[in-house]
Amino acid sequence: MDLDVVNMFVIAGGTLAIPILAFVASFLLWPSALIRIYYWYWRRTLGMQVRYVHHEDYQFCYSFRGRPGHKPSILMLHGFSAHKDMWLSVVKFLPKNLHLVCVDMPGHEGTTRSSLDDLSIDGQVKRVHQFVECLKLNKKPFHLIGTSMGGHVAGVYAAYYPSDVGSLCLVCPAGLQYSTDNQFVQRLKELQDSAAIQKIPLIPSTPEEMSEMLQLCSYVRFKVPQQILQGLVDVRIPHNSFYRKLFLEIVSEKSRYSLHQNMDKIKVPTQIIWGKQDQVLDVSGADILAKSIANCQVELLENCGHSVVMERPRKTAKLIVDFLASVHNTDNNKKLN
């Protein structure tokens, strides 16, 4: 082989080796940085732009795609200890002509975290309303989606601000009172009684605890590499004291059953999506809501746990789009009549 050709391959190999080694080093040494890059990449790929808006001295961070049009805007509220990017897996399958807004909930990611903030469900509802007012999302009724804690907030929001919300989607929402507790809730009550605040299953501080939390929240058993588990923990550990404070607030007597206490005030068309194998919040909650909300459609997903958005993103997106279409068509027919 010609020496010049050999030299070309050596140079090319060396050039390629640099980014490959950088990637491997990032994966092994800085997995948390890799996770942030991953979210940045998917936001960019899906056309989601990050913006900030302020209500007095309080900052909200959100991502969005599209502009308000004749179809309702969609506001998406994430769950406990998550962030706006958890919706990206669903956004991937939503039409690009929809106006989507995903906001970081109070104290999460880029939204202000203050020791003076009211983290109760009522307090979070008020903050979300401030965000809505800042963006003028309520110039006409919008579609509100929330999952888990975000579903709890979304349901109460729809009860408190009925003129803002045109339709509602609750994905395995918290905030309901069951006749019997599942194993997860029983375990939480035991931890509260023993004052073992450091052992809340939804607040992992080691890769092993992170793996256990993923198994608790998902029916699908993901095989997550140790480095990624470590990266997920590294990202969360600086925030764990806040998560504990928030968790104790939302399970307090003031907040625990806020959705249950207000569900009969929800008058807008409502969609309930729940994984049948949810180990965190029992699927029987869907029936509780359906009996109290007049215009309610229930969708139960087989082989799906609590992390509906992560486990069944394509199906979730389709259900949302179909529901919106049916509500929109009904509204149009009413106008014609």
Evaluate whether residue 262 is within a structural domain.
Answer: yes
Task: Please identify which of the residues 63, 81, 89, 148 carries the catalytic annotation.
Answer: 148
For residue 230, what pLDDT is reported?
87
Task: Please identify which of the residues 152, 260, 306, 307 carries the catalytic annotation.
Answer: 306
pLDDT in tens, 90-111: 999 999 999 999 999 999 999 9
Domain region containing 115: 47-336
For residue 195, what pLDDT is reported?
62
pLDDT band at 23 (very low <50, low <70, confident <90, very high): very low
For residue 169, what pLDDT is reported?
98
Q: How many CB atoms lie within 10 A of CB 288?
A: 18
For residue 333, what pLDDT is reported?
54
For residue 197, what pLDDT is reported?
63
With tokens 């997903």, the residue in question is 301
Beta strand 74-77 with 100-103 is parallel
259 contacts 288 by C-beta, under 8 angstroms: no
* CA 314/CA 295 separation, integer angstroms: 24
**Could you tell me the strand order of the sheet in which 100-103 lies?**
49-55, 58-65, 100-103, 74-77, 142-147, 165-171, 270-275, 296-301
For residue 224, what pLDDT is reported?
84
Which of 150-154, 212-216, 248-252 holds the top average pLDDT? 150-154
Task: Please identify which of the residues 78, 278, 282, 307 carries the catalytic annotation.
Answer: 278
Which CATH number belongs to the domain containing residue 209 in this structure? 3.40.50.1820
At residue 142, the 3 state secondary structure works out as strand
Least confident window among 8-12, 130-134, 153-157: 8-12
DSSP string, 68-88: --SSPPEEEE--TT--GGGGH
Beta strand 270-275 with 142-147 is unpaired
For residue 31, what pLDDT is reported?
65
This prediction has a pTM of 0.89
Q: Tell whether the model's pLDDT for residue 67 goes beyond 80.
A: yes
* CA 329/CA 272 separation, integer angstroms: 19
Evaluate whether residue 9 is within a structural domain.
Answer: no
Q: Tell whether the model's pLDDT for residue 63 goes beyond 60.
A: yes
Q: Tell whether the model's pLDDT for residue 228 goes beyond 90.
A: no
Q: Is 278 a catalytic residue?
A: yes
Least confident window among 73-87, 148-162, 183-197, 208-222: 183-197
Task: Give the whole-number percent of the chain exceeding pLDDT 70.
Answer: 86
| Count: domains in the chain | 1
pLDDT in tens, 254-283: 999 999 999 999 999 999 999 999 999 999
Q: What is the mean pLDDT of the chain?
A: 89
pLDDT in tens, 108-123: 999 999 999 999 999 9
Q: Is 148 a catalytic residue?
A: yes
Evaluate whether residue 159 is within a structural domain.
Answer: yes
Q: Tell whether the model's pLDDT for residue 84 goes beyond 60.
A: yes
Least confident window among 5-9, 20-24, 278-282, 287-291: 5-9
Give mean pLDDT, residues 247-253. 93
Evaluate whether residue 168 is within a structural domain.
Answer: yes
How far is the first Cα of the chain from the last one, in angstroms, to the nearest whole number? Answer: 82
